[in-house]
Amino acid sequence: MANRSRNALLCRDELSISSFKTPARFLLVPFLLAASLLVSGCGFEPVYAVRDDAGLPTLLRSIDLPDTRAGRYLANQLRGRIAPAETGGLALYVTLDETRRDALVATDGNTERIDLTMTATVRLETAAAEVVEQRRFRVSSSYNRTSSELANQETEASLRNTALDRIASDIQFLLADLSADADPAQ
């Protein structure tokens, strides 16, 4: 019967699987270098790349948000994505509404699942108070209620911030669509 305790990994002088790890590392570096050169020359741009839109007109002259915790969080998110101009452009008005409701109630009357919905009504106006665009963005999510009230509050705060991040992205895309429509080159 063959000695099965000696396998290719434990043989010192024979060809082993572990001896292929060293050349593979040396081949990996040139492969990654070649791949990066190919990708860099193909015109690939990441979806979330920061671009210099110096040629595009700035759409916003002011941003009006509610003075609440959610409004301040949304303002911080928009400040990182949108730079308002001092003169000209549109005014952005946002109202936020948050709704909590019991989604699943157990037979003993305890709530086991809660739905959280954030709704943002976005209105863009000219200097003459003409409404250019009005949209409503709604993000819904739900979470399981636990016996720990702190865990419930942390989960709800995290879901609220995620919803506000998505609303900020939707506002950013709305403004990008409007600036693309206003661009005379198109």
> What are the pLDDT digits (tens) for 40-66?
666 655 555 455 444 444 567 888 899
For residue 155, being part of any structural domain is answered with yes
Which of 161, 165, 176 has its CA nearest to residue 80? 165
For residue 45, being part of any structural domain is answered with no
Instruction: Give the domain extent around 117.
Output: 60-182
For residue 68, being part of any structural domain is answered with yes
pLDDT in tens, 135-147: 999 999 988 888 8
Q: Which residues contact 80 (CB under 8 A, 6 or more apart)?
A: none
The structural domain count of the chain equals: 1
For residue 104, being part of any structural domain is answered with yes
For residue 7, being part of any structural domain is answered with no
Please determine, for residue 179, whether its predicted confidence score (pLDDT) is greater than 90. no
Report if pTM > 0.75: no
pLDDT in tens, 19-33: 445 556 667 777 777
Distance (Å, whole) CA 36 – CA 32: 6
For residue 14, being part of any structural domain is answered with no
The CATH number covering residue 140 comes to 3.30.160.150
At 33 the pLDDT is 74
- Identify whether the C-beta of residue 70 lies closer than 8 Å to the C-beta of residue 164: yes
For residue 160, being part of any structural domain is answered with yes
For residue 32, being part of any structural domain is answered with no
Please report which confidence band the pLDDT of residue 86 belongs to, taking 50, 70 and 90 as the band edges. Answer: low
At 146 the pLDDT is 86
> Over 21-84, what HEC string results?
HHHHHHHHHHHHHHHHHHHHCCCCCCCCCCCCCCCCCCCEEEEECCCCHHHHHHHHHHHHHCCC
For residue 156, what is the enclosing H or E element? helix 149-182
- Residue-averaged pLDDT of the chain: 76
Q: How many CB atoms lie within 10 A of CB 92?
A: 23
